[in-house]
Amino acid sequence: MMAGNCVPELVDAAGGANLFGTAGQHSGCLEPAQLAATDPDVIAIMPCGFDIDRARREIPALTARPEWAGLSAVARGRVFITDGNQNFNRPGPQMAESAEILAELLHPGTFDVGHEGTGWAPP
């Protein structure tokens, strides 16, 4: 699925460009061929209701797809698992932290506010 609702605005606030979802609209389905054709620079995995550990257990369903290995973000180590349950799946007071997490993922070395390991992790 592609992130919609408030996530496109968070990506924008963090200095990125959301290539799939639309602000204010529900998250939609994303075909693997569409992901491969767009070939994003960074992929943030934020499954609804999943923390980092649960998302890590489920990620083989994504990484086993034949398109996965050919993605630029995969080749460059720019794929991250986030705590979708706490930071991205519903609006609330933590939205500032959500933007910080995305800034860390999008601009490594420029932003480091300490969310690695709790807000995001490598797969």
User: Average pLDDT of 41-58?
Assistant: 93
DSSP-derived 3-state class of residue 38: helix
> Distance (Å, rounded) from C-alpha 82 to C-alpha 63?
16
pLDDT at 59 over 70: yes
Domain boundaries, the chain: 39-121
User: Average pLDDT of 3-9?
Assistant: 75
User: Average pLDDT of 12-32?
Assistant: 80
Tell me the per-residue pLDDT of 62-109, one tens digit each, with 9 for 90 and over. Answer: 999 999 999 999 999 999 999 988 888 877 778 899 999 999 999 998
Per-residue pLDDT band at 19 (split at 50, 70, 90): confident
